[in-house]
Structure formats: structure tokens, C-alpha cells
Structure 1
Amino acid sequence: MNAQAVRLLGRQMLFGWLNFALALPSIYLLLGMPLVMRQHGWSGTEIGLFQLAGLPAVFKFLLALPVERWRFAGAHYKSWALLLCLGLAATLLLVGRQELLDRHALFFALTLLAGVLAAWTDIPVNALAIKLLPESERVRAGAIRSAALFLAAVVGAGLMLLVHAHWGWQAPFILMSAALLLGALLLALLGESSMPRPLSAARNSRESGWRGYFQQPGAMLWTCLLLSCFPFIGASWLYLKPLLLDQGMPATQVAWIAGFGGGVIGALSSVASGRLQRWLGVARAVPLFSAFALLALATLTALVWGGVGTSGLVVGAALVAAAMGAISSLVFGLMMFFTRQQRQAADYGLQTSLFVVSRLAVPVAAGLLLDHLGYGGMLLGLTLAMLGVCALALFAGPPLARITERQRGAPERCAANTTCP
């Protein structure tokens, strides 16, 4: 590997680690801690209301505004990322000072603060990744980010609970703070500069506001796909644990299959899908990955309708986890192509807000289907919705491919052209 390749790989690993470290606290507090809360007598309503601490992720489009407007001289995004990383690490250490399971209001307030800081830090970190990584590396960056989030789910909702059980309340918060501080230290050594952009990109960057985002070529089509390609497969995964429990599977076995096993499969699928997408190209990857998600949903639906039992459902769970990894890798990679120069944070924040809103809304509708039609009816509804997404993906693939290929080629041509601004 030459020096350029080593430098790019180092940046990819750094941003992957930062995404892992930023996701870990929210996953531990919102998905892991409810088990401990229940053991300490929290009611179902209290645990449910505690989940509202995850709402800041919906408002990333607002959190991105001060990142764009209040600029540090020189390393703008890096300075924001460092400042917020240190704030989040300090908040986690504050939460870990003493056990807060009997102080519900204080625990919720600090968890909400941690949620705001985690969502806020994610914006300059990924805006910096978009700014520093060349367009040819964006597919790989999406795959690494997706894998990092799946691994954070494994660690946050699994291994951190074991750490808590063996070493007490403080240990998980110390480890999570250390992970953030390590990322911040490595980030401080990173210079903030970017590849030169063509004149059209420079003009596009001056179109401020969210209206400018939607005026980008293909942005409306991409937004429709962004809102629809993940939530249906994601909703099936959300209800998979209750499904396995209702089929008579022990809770510990459900945790291993849908927690540890699903997270590992999703991470591996993310990495493999990134490589496959680079080989297939966007025009073919978009419809093929959507079709894979449709296949996973249809298979799980057929298994439930057929009453195959828990062993067959394990196969369905593995397919759903792999499809989630593939779709996540695709989405996170393509999001990076629809950010304007000097507006990376705002455009990334807007896209992630839209992604989170759709991811939260679809499970509500799926829950209504579950209550009225059972698991088979719910999964059939999700499968039919995914069939519509596949039709959209088939239509969207070629236009999105032209946009991403044009963006990849433009900087290279610009760098070779001495008259390019």
C-alpha cells in the first residue's frame, strides 16, 4: 500500500471508531439499561418514558445550524467535533459518578443531555468525513459506519451489561468516556483540508438553506428512497424479539440470536455490501439490495405463516440482519454524495433527521398491524411496502448512479486541469 492509501485507511478507521464511540452511550442507556431498570423495580411506563431521551436524534437538522453558522477559524468541523466529544465524555463521567437508578428525574435529565450531545457530535464528525474523504471512498465510508453501528449495538446492549454486572455502575461509563477521549485524541492529530471541487460545486455551495439541498440534481428522488428503503426491514427487526419470545424461545436465547448474532451478521454484511457496491455500481446495487431486503421480509413472513417453529425463524432472523446491514451500508454511503460544499453539516443533519423520523414512524404503524392482524399480517404488510420500495429503487438506480459517478469524476478532472478553480 502506498502512503496515500495508508492515509485514507487511517481516516476511515478513525471515523469508524468515532461513529462506534458516539453510538455506544445511547445504545447502552436506551437499549441495555432497561433490563437493569426492570430489575430495580422500574415500571413499564417509566421505562417507556425514559426512551424519550432518544428524541434529540430527530432534531439533527436543527443541531446542524449552529455548526454551520458559528465557524471556528481554520479547522471548523474538527473544532466542533472535539468540543462536543469532550462535553459528551464529561457528561458520561458525571452519570457514572454514582448510581442513579433511584433518582429517576436526574437520570433522565443527564441521559437526555448525553443524547443531545451524541446527536450533535455526530454532525461535525460525519461532515468532516464527507469533507476529507474523496468521493471514491464514500461507499467504503458508508459500509464502515454501518458496521460500526452494528458493533455498537452488540457492545452497548450486550457486553456493557456484563461489564455492569461484574464491575458495577461506574465501569461502563468510564469505558465509554475512554473510547470518546481516544477518538478525540486521534482526531486532534488530523488536519482539516479537502479535495478541490469543481466550479459547479462551489456555486452549489452558495445556495444556502434547506431549499438548496432539495434543488440538487436527484435530491428529491434520493430523499424518497432515503425515507423508505430502511424503515420496513428495520421494523421487522424491532418486532423480531417479541416474535421469538412468543414462539416459546427462552429470553437468553433470544438475546444471543437477535442481539449478539444479529449485530455480528449486520456488521459483516455491511462490510461485504460495501465491497459489493463498489463492484456492482450504484445503478445495480440500489435495486439489488432493496430486492434482498424484500427477499428477507418475504422469507420471514412465509416462515411465520408456515409455523415452522423457532429453528426456521433463526434463519429468517439471519436474513433480516444481513439485509439491514446491506441497506444501511448503501444509505450511509449515498448520503455523503448529497451534501454541498460548505454545507456538509446542514445537509447531513437534514438527511439523518429524515432517516430517523421514518425509522420511528413505521414501527408505530407496524405495531397497529400487529395488534389487529398478528405477526403474519404485520410482516405481510411490511413485505408489500418493501415491494413498492423495490419499484422505486429500480427507477432510482440509474439516475443516482449518474449523479454519484459525475461527482467522483469531477474532482479528478479538476485536479488534472490547471485552469480549474
Structure 2
Amino acid sequence: MPTPALRTSWWPQQLLLGWLNLALTAPLIYLYIGLPLVMRQNGWSGTQIGLMQLAGLPAMLKFLFATPVDRYRLGQASYRNWTLLLMLCYAAALGLLAAHDLGNTPASRMFLLAMLVSVLGTWADVPLNALAIQILPESERVRAGAIRSAAMSLGAIVGGGVMLLLHTRAGWAWPFYVLALGLLSGVLLLPWLKPQATPCQSLPAPLAPLAGWRQWPGYFAIAEHRTWALLVLVYYPFLGAVWLYLKPLMLDQGFAADRIALIVGIVGGLAGALSSMLAGRLTRRIGASISLPLLALGNLVAIGFLTLVIIAGLGYNALIAAALLVALAMGASAGLMFGLMMYHTRPGLAAVDYGIQSSLFVAARTLVPILAGVLLDRLGYPGMLGCLLVGLVLVLLLAWHSRRRIFSLDRPAQLQGV
């Protein structure tokens, strides 16, 4: 285990990676969560707003974007250079959006611009996280996942709240300018991220095959990766579906819209960020093989309590408590998953393997809420929550039985004691 002094020395890099993740995440959240309100104010139909969400589909194709990152090297610091290039393009795309006011731009052109932003934001995420895998020792990766999850929670506050307020006060373009400036600040700081001379990095890495589509199925040839991929698919989406429908649920229970925004959007986001950091600290103390089923149990308890509140009609205060409990569970689980993703990569294929895992994660996170919506229409909130609870029970059983099989047999100490 690293000494306290060594652990402390990684904090600057960790915080910079967190800021970069926040800068990458906030524009996409504003685009797909904040802007629908602005679109409605400008007379867009529900169908148009729904179709605009299809511009977010590239997030499910990260494995495609990851392949050229590993195949075509941009100098010795390839991942860092890829991140630099894509963040500059991402900022330029936000500048293009700023120049096309929603009220004077055809919907088709707005969709193409949103798709461009989505592609570049999704693509830039791949080399950035591959860079984190490259520069951080294994003992720091769970913490990196926790910080990334916290950054995404804060990104939801910035993109889903602060930028809407800025739009109200300053107009269409300014939120995009501010978000682009956040990216450019990351570009200026990015050269500071570079591998340090540590014993583990001084060892020669095995020669990796040239990245290409043939390496995609190769990821699943490893038994532990198959088990882990199944966990990536099911561990988070049931909880994520509850979070997605939490605002409509509270609205239907009589909460005012501004109160929901405060409780779920701001307080819930802060709670999620805090729980991400606490879960990372807990995992480093008790080990990933224990925290994986433990947090799955926490997810089950959180959704179980919410279901009880709805069925028993326990009132507003109990529903607020349940919402914050779900936010805590969300942050903790996301931080754990993001951290453990960094362990399940092959030498020389960090971008490809991260892209595969992220694509699985996003695909399940997208599809399960759709199925949950069908259940909501047919069975109501109690029926939907009951079905999601069954899914969470199965996730808990899978997490318990697979907790020691998702790690490489040749390095159990590092992974189970992180």
C-alpha cells in the first residue's frame, strides 16, 4: 500500500482530472437537460424536443471513437495530445452553437450542431480517461472514479441549473461562451498531466496489437472481463431509471417545480458529489470486493424506502428524505463503477477497453429508463418501483457472487485492497 505522503502527492493530478471531467460533462448536460426548457419557451413541440435527444446517441458508440485513439499515436504523450485536440474542437463547436440563436435557426441545423457537440464531447472523454488510467497508479484509480462521479454531479448543477439562470439573464450565447471557456482552461492546464517516474511505469509494457475492430471481441475473451461487463450493464441502470423519474414522481405528488429543482437538482447533486467521495474512501479502506455488494445493498435499501414512502403515503418530508437517499446511492455507485472500469483494461488498449465499458454502461442506462417508462404507464409508480426493486435484488446477488471473479488473478492485492 502506498504511504500517506505518496497518496497526498497525487491530489493535484486528481483534482485536475476532476476539473476536466466537469468541463467535459457540463455542456452535454446543458444541451440535453437544460435546453429542452428553452426550446419549449421558443415554441418547439414535444416531438421536436424528443427528437433532439437523439443527438446524444453517440455516447453509446464510444468504442468506435476509442479505436482511432489507440490506433493512431499523436506523439509520445498520445492520450494527452488526443484530449487536447478534441477539447479544442469541442470548444469550437460550442462557439458555433452560440452563434446560432434557437429562435432563428432551423431545427434540422440545430440538430446537426447538437450532434457535432455530442460527438466531440463523447470522443474527448475517451482519451481523457485513458490518460487517467495511464498516469495514475492502481491505488489511486478508485479515488479517480469517485472524483469523476463527483464532477458529473457538479456538472449536473452547472449544466442543469446555473447555465439556465445565465441564459435567463444574459441570453442565448453566454452559457456556451462560459462552457467553452471552461474547456479552454482545461486545455491550458492539460500539459501539466504527464506520467511520473514510478517503479511500475518504468517496467516495459507488453507489446500490444494495433488497435482495430478485431480487438473489440478480444476484450470479452478474458473471463473476468465477461463477468465485469455484465455488472457494467446492470449495476447502475435500475437506480438511474429511478433518478430519471424522480422529478415527475415528486411533481405528481404535489411538489412545486422550483422546489423539485432545489431538492433534486441542487441538494441532490451536492449529496451525490459528497457520497462519491465518501464511497471512494470507503472502498480504499475495505476493498472493492466488499464495497461492490455493500453499495448494491445500499441501492436496494434506497429504492425500497422510496417505494414504501409512495405506497404508504408517508408524506412530503419522507419523500424528500427518500429522494436524498437515492441521490446518495447514485453518487456512491457511479463513483465505484467509474473507478473499477479503470482496472479492466488491456496493456496498450486503455482507450478501446474504456470505450467498450462506457458504451455498455451508457446503452443500459439509456434503455432501462425506456422500459421503466412503459412500466410506469401500465402499472403506475408503485408497479414500476417494484419491478426495479426486483432488478436490484438480482444485481445484489450478482455483485455478491462475482465480487472476487472480476479481478485479475495475478494482482488481487492491489485491486481488493485499493
The aligned residue for residue 194 of structure 2 is: 191
The aligned residue for residue 154 of structure 2 is: 151
Q: CA deviation at 1:390?
A: 0.3
CA contact (8 A) 1:270 1:326 kept: yes
Match of 2:76 among 66, 69, 74: 74
- Ranges in structure 2 where 5+ consecutive residues have no aligned partner: none
CA contact (8 A) 1:282 1:401 kept: no
- Ranges in structure 1 where 5+ consecutive residues have no aligned partner: 410-421
The aligned residue for residue 126 of structure 2 is: 123
Are 1:202 and 2:202 an aligned pair? no
Aligned pairs for 1:337-376 within 5 A: 337-376=343-382
Match of 1:83 among 72, 82, 85: 85
Q: What SS does the corresponding residue of 1:338 show, helix, strand or coil? A: coil
Q: What SS does the corresponding residue of 1:395 show, helix, strand or coil? A: helix
Give CA-to-partner distance per residue, 1:394-418, whole Å, 9 cap, x none. Answer: 1111233565953738xxxxxxxxx
Q: CA deviation at 1:100?
A: 2.5
Q: CA deviation at 1:2?
A: 8.5
The TM-score with structure 1 as length reference comes to 0.92
CA contact (8 A) 1:64 1:345 kept: yes
Give CA-to-partner distance per residue, 1:333-385, whole Å, 9 cap, x none. Answer: 10000011210000000000000000011111111111110000000000011
Aligned pairs for 1:160-199 within 5 A: 160-192=163-195, 196=200
CA distance in 1, matches of 2:379, 2:274: 34
Aligned pairs for 1:219-298 within 5 A: 219-298=225-304
The aligned residue for residue 111 of structure 2 is: 108
Q: What SS does the corresponding residue of 2:194 show, helix, strand or coil? A: coil
Match of 2:137 among 134, 139, 147: 134
The aligned residue for residue 65 of structure 1 is: 67
Moved more, 268-277 or 194-203: 194-203
Q: What SS does the corresponding residue of 2:103 show, helix, strand or coil? A: coil
Give CA-to-partner distance per residue, 1:84-103, whole Å, 9 cap, x none. Answer: 00000111112112423331
CA contact (8 A) 1:32 1:156 kept: yes
Give CA-to-partner distance per residue, 1:238-272, whole Å, 9 cap, x none. Answer: 01111111111111111111111111111111011
CA distance in 2, matches of 1:291, 1:362: 19
Number of aligned positions between the proteins: 410
CA contact (8 A) 2:71 2:210 kept: no
Q: CA deviation at 1:310?
A: 2.5
Letter in 2 for 1:324: M
Letter in 2 for 1:67: V
The aligned residue for residue 19 of structure 1 is: 21
Give CA-to-partner distance per residue, 1:211-256, whole Å, 9 cap, x none. Answer: 3322335111111111101000000010111111111111111111
Give CA-to-partner distance per residue, 1:270-296, whole Å, 9 cap, x none. Answer: 011000111111121011000000001
When residues 194 and 237 of structure 1 are mapped into structure 2, their CA distance, relative to the original with a 3 A threshold, is farther
Match of 1:36 among 38, 55, 61: 38
CA distance in 1, matches of 2:364, 2:284: 27
Q: CA RMSD in A?
A: 2.2
The TM-score with structure 2 as length reference comes to 0.93
Letter in 1 for 2:137: P
Are 1:388 and 2:394 an aligned pair? yes
When residues 213 and 402 of structure 1 are mapped into structure 2, their CA distance, relative to the original with a 3 A threshold, is closer
Q: CA deviation at 1:205?
A: 6.7
The aligned residue for residue 413 of structure 1 is: none
